[in-house]
A and B are shown apart, each in its own frame.
Chain A
Amino acid sequence: MLSPDLVESLLRQALKGGADFAEIYAERSRRRRMTVRAGRMEEAISGLDYGAGLRLFFGTEVVYAYTNQLTPEGLLEALETLLRAKGGLGQVDERGAGGLDFRKALPRGLHAPSTPYGEKDKRYRLERLLEAEAGARISPEIKQVEASLQEWEQEVLIANTEGTWAEEKRVRTRLFVLAVAQEGTEVQTGYAAPGKSVGLELFDLYPPQEVGARAARQALTNLRAKPAPAGTMPVVVGNAFGGVIFHEALGHLLETTSVAKKASVLADKLGEEVASPVVTYVDDGTLPHAWGSTEVDDEGRPTERTVLIEKGVLKAYMVDRLGHLLTGYPMTGSGRRQDYTFAPTSRMRNTFIAPGDKEVEDLIASVEFGLYAKELGGGQVKPGSGEYNFAVQEGYIIRHGRIEEPVRGAMLVGKGPETIRRVVAVAKDWENAPGMCGSLSGMVPVEVGQPHVLVSEIVVGGRA
């Protein structure tokens, strides 16, 4: 995208302007989205994102600029804007005098697609979407179905004054199916959305009819569900996307973004027991083809597997460059950003509770009265107080150790550090699922995951 000469000259000029460190992140991304409704293609859009972000450090102060003008003049103008904003334009610092010796890390293709973009035409995609839509039409109560495909092919180049030169082509594909079930005036929805760092082989991994049927079954379950009861009770949280509870309640509290500012209730707790001893919590950016995996992070460092909590004891935080400068903790390849319009910050990649030794049936059987939160929607957390919430997309009452009638409208609320101590059992059936996570550096793809987990008590928000 950019020549090494141009990159080197810009980085050196940043150093001359007094920066201690400078980085360029350039991106060219092709995106496609197609939506099928009522047996036909309703909308199709293709797009090209193209831009670069320049980040300069002066101690721990950061200045950031981005532009779509990737010409030498455009990039120089962005740099001068930054130096002017910092008040360093016209300054000459001799550290910028020497040459830069880039260590080029060639992409290894760890997550490369087996069916790349150009291999199948758009009609092939349309046919798969129509299959997903047809798959959802399993009952006359299913009144609306929407199936869409999102494809994202992102090429990045990251170079910095420490000699990092990293390039990567990241391909991600995701299928969404929304089913709306209706009976009389009652309307409920169901949803399924598998996604991986793969190409169109996604359709082989997740046959579209099955994805459609899964969304429809959930809508129908919710249509006959009663309002969830309200109150404090034991909750068995489902595997895969069930892990979103600990993404919110625990993961965000371990990012240096809040830890460095002592704005996390889990700051300064390395080596302490912060969770139930049955909990081991891992953030792994290296899982092959996972939705949140990359070869290098958005600061150009190889991604890693980071064990955050081992048997209840806090072992590590997720650390980006700024977090490292502020805390001294080693960087973990966790610097991530949505795109060139954001400076990176420490973010989760694929974060999950490791498998335990229990059977799912035993977890359910041990509950006299409680909630089985089979599928969860999204959630939110305030790291400073640990308060979190998330929605139950598909839930059932557990009575006398058995899963009984479906309930809807349950919202789980609590304080993360309390909830993670109340995990009393972890099953064996570990699975991950994709999601989008929003924070300071924008929306990034992540996986969340876990086996089935039993929490002794959580406040369930339903109808009182």
Chain B
Amino acid sequence: MTLEEAKRYLLRRAKELGLEAEVLFQEERELSLRARQGTLEEIKEARQGGVGLRVVVQGRMGYAYTEELSLEALEWALSEARDNALLAGKEGHISTGQALGSHDLLGEGLSAPLDTKKQSALELERALWEDPRSKSVLMGGYMEKEVRVALASTRGAEGAYRTGLAGMGGSLVMADGPSLKQGWDFKLAKEFHLLDPGRTALEIREKTARLLNARPLPTGRYRAYLEPKAMAGLLLVLSRSLSGKSALEGKSRLLNRLGERIASEWVTLVDDPTLEKGLLSRPFDAEGTPARRTVVVEKGVFKTFLHNSETAKALGQENTGHAFRTYRGVMDVAPTNLYLEPVGNLSLEKGVLVTEFMGLHAGANPVSLDFSLQALGLWVEEGEVRYAVENFAVAGNLLDLLQAIEAVGGELDWEVMGAAFGSPMVAVAELSFAGV
């Protein structure tokens, strides 16, 4: 059965069974080309898809999904979703929907011939070796993903869109005498031709080489400059607390703090799913709410959580259209393109420039917002990089850090970690560093 046939079948059967139902389809095409020592060590080409189902029975919600599209599997999904709903103790509803149209956010972005993409992957890997200090290249290559999403419900929602991303990047180990550093980066774009393998490789080499011959950092409190990659990681942790769902579940420290100053005046945080070249832009969310720009923090003042219809209703706020679901998951809330607005008042003086945080998933607690993270960095003095520093950790609380931001750079850089997180460089008055 095709996805289209599965959709019609599920909606028809749901009506026959007296259920309200919403069906989410996703179909993905993936291409990845991994180069090693001048040949393509792995070529991956694949398709994957499935249907996710939410049904409401007696005012309660249940979920199921299937990747197998046989009649038997669809019937199994319907009955599992219904059983799960009957077990649920919480009320739920499917919003009244509307015709949302069919959108193409990808266009010809990935249309280059396969051979051109192969050449780019090989070129990037070759260019990673173009430094006598390159000791081994773990991986260099190209990947692209094209996604088609469609939504339909018994309550009138109907819409579809197609989007996608292309990316190039790699990972290498560089050595200078006994000093070893492993670096990586991955650049993403909406279109293949916006990627530049030579330049990406050069950036990865430069970003890795500058960390060689690092010295230990004495334990102490220093001014910190966070590069966009490091700050984007912290925004990812913060985004869990910005979720209306976390707030409802008692897992956000920002609950009851709307209208309060939670960050310095230099901090304006925006989520914008409508950005024209936004890496994760989309025309509507997983419930069919049309996308719009949301200012989450304005000059330090907390304006709104990110919401889906359920969390907005429960907290008595406006729905921001941030319902998030994959066909394999339950309804959640998630940002799309969340970024810290550039200011342009930052200049380097003295302190530690943090290039990257490691171990975010373990060392940063999304509930308490405490963090203690291994970091890589450079010592700067009189506006200049003096030497690299290593073997240290940075600790604090994210809300304190946001309050201590005293300058924000002028140029946005993006990282995709589930959602797209954008940030310029940020200067933090003081952070606690643990070293020797």
Contact = CB atoms under 8 A, between A and B. Distances in A.
Interface of A: 28, 33-34, 37, 39-51, 60-69, 78, 81-82, 85-86, 122-123, 126, 143-144, 146, 180, 185, 187-189, 227-228, 230-232, 258, 261-263, 265, 341, 343, 377-380, 382-391, 408-411, 413-415, 459-464
Contact of B180 (A67, A384, A411): A384
Given A385-B173, A415-B391, A461-B372, A262 B436 contact: no
A343 B49 CA distance: 18
A82 B65 CA distance: 28
B67 A48 contact: yes
A42 B91 CA distance: 9
Interface of B: 36, 39-50, 61-69, 73, 76-77, 80-81, 83-85, 87-90, 114, 135-138, 171-173, 180-182, 219-221, 249-251, 253, 328-330, 358-359, 361-363, 365, 367-368, 370-374, 390-396, 432-436
B374 A44 contact: no
Given A48-B67, A378-B362, A86 B249 contact: no
A232 B62 contact: no
Q: Which 6 A-B pairs have the closest CB atoms?
A: A461-B393, A40-B89, A230-B434, A389-B374, A384-B173, A378-B362
A367 B63 CA distance: 53
B230 to A, nearest CB: 14
Contacts of B36: 261
B138 A146 contact: no
A265 B43 CA distance: 27
B138 A384 contact: yes
Nearest to B369: A187
B358 A387 contact: yes
24 contacts: A40-B89, A41-B87, A44-B84, A46-B64, A48-B76, A50-B67, A61-B40, A61-B41, A64-B44, A66-B46, A82-B45, A85-B114, A187-B253, A188-B368, A230-B395, A389-B358, A409-B370, A409-B395, A411-B393, A411-B395, A415-B391, A459-B393, A460-B434, A461-B393
Most buried by B among A123, A265, A459: A459
Given A48-B65, A67-B48, 4 more contacts: A63-B43, A66-B46, A262-B135, A384-B173
Contacts of A46: 63-65, 77, 80-81, 83-84
Given A65-B45, A86-B43, A387-B374, A45 B330 contact: yes
Given A385-B173, A464-B219, A85 B64 contact: no
A461 B64 contact: no
B80 A459 contact: no
A189 B368 contact: yes
A263 B47 CA distance: 31
Given A384-B182, A461-B373, A262 B251 contact: no
B121 to A, nearest CB: 12
Contacts of A462: 372, 393, 395, 432, 434
A262 B250 CA distance: 47
Contacts of B172: 384
B374 A43 contact: no
A464 B436 contact: no
A402 B329 CA distance: 47
Contacts of B68: 28, 48, 50, 68
Contacts of B372: 228, 391, 409-411, 461-462
B237 to A, nearest CB: 13
Contacts of B73: 48, 50
A185 B255 CA distance: 11
A348 B47 CA distance: 28
Nearest to A386: B180
A98 B399 CA distance: 67
Contacts of A227: 395
Contacts of B253: 185, 187
A411 B393 CA distance: 7
Contact of A261 (B88, B136, B220, B365): B136
A413 B375 CA distance: 9
A45 B63 contact: yes
A228 B393 CA distance: 12
Contact of A41 (B41, B90, B114, B396): B90
A67 B362 CA distance: 33
A126 B88 CA distance: 10
Contacts of B359: 378-380, 389-391, 411
Nearest to B435: A459
B48 A68 contact: yes
A236 to B, nearest CB: 18
Contact of A189 (B65, B69, B330, B367): B367
A341 to B, nearest CB: 6
Contact of A377 (B65, B363, B433): B363
B64 A47 contact: yes
Contacts of B373: 389, 411, 461
A45 B85 CA distance: 9
Contacts of A379: 359, 362
Contact of B221 (A68, A85, A464): A464
Nearest to A48: B66
B45 A81 contact: yes
A388 B42 CA distance: 27
Contact of B434 (A67, A185, A461): A461
Contacts of B181: 384-385
Contacts of A60: 41
Contacts of B41: 60-62
Most buried by A among B61, B87, B90: B87
B329 A45 contact: yes
Contacts of B329: 45
Contact of A387 (B63, B77, B182): B182
B432 A463 contact: yes
Max chain B C-beta neighbours (<10 A), residue from A63, A65, A263, A379: A263
A173 to B, nearest CB: 18
B47 A64 contact: no
A231 B65 contact: no
A41 B89 contact: yes
Given A144-B249, A188-B368, A228-B372, A463 B395 contact: yes
A82 to B, nearest CB: 6
Contacts of B330: 33, 43, 45
Nearest to A27: B67
B392 to A, nearest CB: 7
Contacts of A66: 46-48
Contact of B361 (A44, A187, A378, A382): A378
B89 A232 contact: no
A63 B361 contact: no
B44 A47 contact: no
Query: Which of B40, B80, B359, B391 has the most chain A CB atoms inside 10 A of its CB?
Result: B359
Given A48-B76, A66-B46, A464-B432, A39 B370 contact: no
- Scoring B44, B80, B137, B436 by chain A CB atoms within 10 A of each residue's CB, the highest score goes to B44
A76 to B, nearest CB: 14
Contacts of B390: 387
A44 B87 contact: yes
Contacts of B180: 265, 384-386
A387 B371 CA distance: 19
B47 A68 contact: yes
A78 B30 CA distance: 12
Given A41-B89, A46-B63, A187-B253, A411 B363 contact: yes
Contacts of A408: 370
Nearest to B397: A409
A397 B62 CA distance: 47
Which residue among A44, A62, A185, A382 has the maximum number of chain B CB atoms within 10 Å of its CB? A44
